[in-house]
Chains A and B, each alone.
Chain A
Amino acid sequence: MTLNGWLQIGLVLGLVLVAVRPLGLYMAAVFEGRRTPASLALGPVERGFYRLAGVAPDKEQGWLAYTLAMLTFSALGFVSLYAILRLQAYLPLNPQGFDGVAPDLAFNTAISFLTNTNWQAYGGETTMSAFSQMAGLAVHNFLSAATGIALALAVTRAFARGGATTIGNFWVDLTRATLYVLLPLSIVVALGFVAAGAPQTLAGSVDATTLEGAKQTLALGPVASQEAIKQLGTNGGGFFNVNAAHPFENPNAFANILQIWSMLTVSAALLIMFGEMVGSERQGWALFGAVGALLLCGVALVYASETAGDPLLTALGLDPAQGNLEGKEIRFGQALTALYVAVTTGLSCGAVNAMHDSLTPLGGLVPLFLIQLGEVLPGGVGSGLYGLLAFAVLSVFIAGLMVGRTPEFLGKKIEAREIKLAMLAVLILPLAILGFTSVAAVLPAGLASLANSGPHGLSEMLYAYTSAAGNNGSAFAGLSANTPWWNTTTAIAMVLGRFGYAVPVMAMAGSLAAKKKGAPSAGTFPTDGLLFVGLLIGIILIVGGLQFFPALALGPIVEHVLMLAGKTF
């Protein structure tokens, strides 16, 4: 670790910090229907959309109608995306003449983009036409992120309101999230990427003759426009096979900083928006503090572990000062690679600027663990906030048990129904992750796809289901995931992780919205102070993390010990 490295990390986090408050307050204004400077240009578009869709923007929905609207929209999105991928060969803008995508891969990919996972069992430049990338995949980068924001808004309103039967209108939230937040930010960020060097062209590829006279085919495409929303929407599905490690997706240090900034800022700003909408910005900052502290620990562990390097390689004479460079790019450096690794998994982004499979054992443990915590640091756009609120509800419940008082959060009494629903949501991750990993570990169809053996092989499988169920999308990419077994099971894990989590949380929101908002009394546990922040961190680590410890011990932890002992596999 170097001082310069920490300064670069501090600089990026500082840039996020200054943007979080204005963006959070702006989003609160947008979603409460107040006029903003953007209304002038976007208001007519918004109203036109409602008219065509037959949506009455003032008519709100109860939690069940809201959830059904979300599910209907997702189901329709799945059907259309699956059709686009299968019929790719007959659709326009296919300069390389790619065939239609195979059924199991199209199924996996459609689920993957719909659930904001963006797990990719394919290499973009060898599988997807420009049309599939733009009108298929990029559209769902916007819509799955907007859906996440909408769900987070519904939960936010449940805390903000008292004695309410409705929690907003899904179609309005979806439309506003896309028009007022994601699209304008994408345009600015995409131009930033182009300025830094990311291509934005409809040409599929161009042939070059190298200095040594060989032919080199350079895959191109509308990269920058997809890159922007992929980061802002915490989607993470790359244009190219190696994602943001590709020089065209992420050309230099400036682009890399913009990548990290754009994936982190929207999710972090949602915490401030939450505080503002429930009438206590301080509450938003308390949540921000808890996730910030955990995330920084993750960054530090990856950075320390990667700069310590792989002793098996330094023993062969490699310069230890450069750290572990296998699977990393020179232009990013160890510090901003470590920051990227932790942020992309603390979020549900899953974009990568280094190959996670080649990280050192402890460097690879961090992304695994951060996803397993439920991706609440600060999580995917929307999904992170509602996941974090489930943990906050559990925290006040446990605090209430300790002092023998009915727990309250933001003036709402937390009772048996809310705790059951929160636990149902939190338990879906271990079910999907540990359940599928243990099955894959004993089936030939699962094991045949491994690229590494020994404990690292277990980590590859564990990472795949962790990433799928956590809707992250990054991978220990040595695993050959494009097989019927992996395509099918990871798709199921993605559905469980998205909807198995969101539906109980929405039911919890419905029951919370109906409760009266009590005034705080002398016995109320304040949830915007340091004590609560500490408790929340503890609950996230214990409830979210401890259940995965045995699996982590068999994978990365044992690999670390064996690496120090000089074992190879």
Chain B
Amino acid sequence: MSHLRPALVLLLLFTALTGIVYPLALTGVAAAIFPQQAGGSLIVQDGKIVGSRLIGQNFASDVYFHPRPSATTAPDPNDAGKTVDAPYNAANSAGSNLGPTSKTLVERVKAAAEAKTAEGWTSPLPADALTTSASGLDPDISPAYALAQIPRVAEARGLDAAKLRALVTAQTKRRWLGLIGEPRVNVLALNIALDAFHARQ
């Protein structure tokens, strides 16, 4: 019983210190020195929030570059107990959690691969174009996947494919010092740059 007082008092003190003072003080400091990041790296165009630089969006139209497939879902509006597919639902991150020998996974990838081949893609297909990410919100794609989409975007927009290739190359992030990170293209940034480029033409 002699342990009860220190247990209770220390729990209260540490809750105040680590649960309230620490996160609130950090929120204040973060807002002062890194306001952009602390607020979620939001991109604002003409006074409207169009998204976050870090979170992928579900581009489906032919005139935009597409992201990776996403496994996120949302509650079914018709049946609260069920869920429906809602790609890039940034309020409910999720992966597919399908294992390597899952029939569902193999059939899903097979159908997607056939669709890409019908579109005129040649083997090997960029793996990220056919696999879902861990978060369902992956903002990036591989340079190979971005380049493979150029014919479709060029045709839908009536733009020169060579110029689009230059645009993709300019948007490709390389490894820092050639060492750290992976080569990748942020899809939202690429599409914003694409809109701007198209408007200039």
Contacts and interface: CB of A to CB of B under 8 A. Distances in A.
Contacts of B110: 316
Interface string B101-121: 111011001100100010000
Contacts of B124: 317-321
Given A246-B137, A251-B54, A327-B133, A209 B49 contact: yes
Contacts, number: 371
A357 B20 CA distance: 35
Interface stretch (B153-161, B162-170, B178-186): B178-186
Contacts of A353: 134
B14 A142 contact: yes
Contacts of A72: 3-4, 7
Interface in B1-17: 3-11, 13-15, 17
B97 A317 contact: no
8 contacts: A69-B6, A200-B27, A201-B38, A216-B88, A247-B138, A332-B182, A357-B99, A364-B99
A126 interface: yes
A360 interface: yes
B126 A194 contact: no
Interface in A260-302: none
Question: Can you list the 4 inter-chain pairs with the closest CB atoms, starting with the nearest?
Answer: A478-B97, A245-B134, A253-B181, A319-B124
B171 interface: no
Interface in B77-93: 88-93
Given A191-B34, A476-B97, 19 more contacts: A80-B15, A123-B93, A123-B94, A134-B23, A178-B18, A207-B49, A212-B57, A212-B60, A218-B55, A218-B91, A225-B27, A252-B181, A313-B106, A327-B97, A329-B140, A330-B68, A352-B134, A354-B134, A451-B97
Interface in A314-364: 316-333, 352-355, 357-361, 364
Nearest to B125: A317
Interface in B24-45: 26-27, 29-31, 33-34, 37-42
A469 interface: no
Contacts of A521: none
B195 A257 contact: no
Nearest to A360: B100
A209 B50 contact: yes
B59 A211 contact: yes
Q: Which of A126, A134, A183, A247 has the most CB of B within 10 A?
A: A247
Contact-residue size bin, chain A (C-beta under 8 Å from the other chain): 35 or more
B127 A322 contact: yes
Interface stretch (A154-162, A428-436, A560-568): A560-568
B97 A187 contact: no
A263 to B, nearest CB: 17
Contacts of B130: 313, 316, 318
Contacts of B188: 211
A206 B49 contact: yes
B179 A73 contact: no
A136 B60 CA distance: 40
A359 B131 CA distance: 13
B100 A324 contact: yes
B191 interface: yes
Contacts of A403: none
Contacts of B22: 138, 183, 186-187, 225
B128 A80 contact: no
A548 B117 CA distance: 44
A126 B95 CA distance: 15
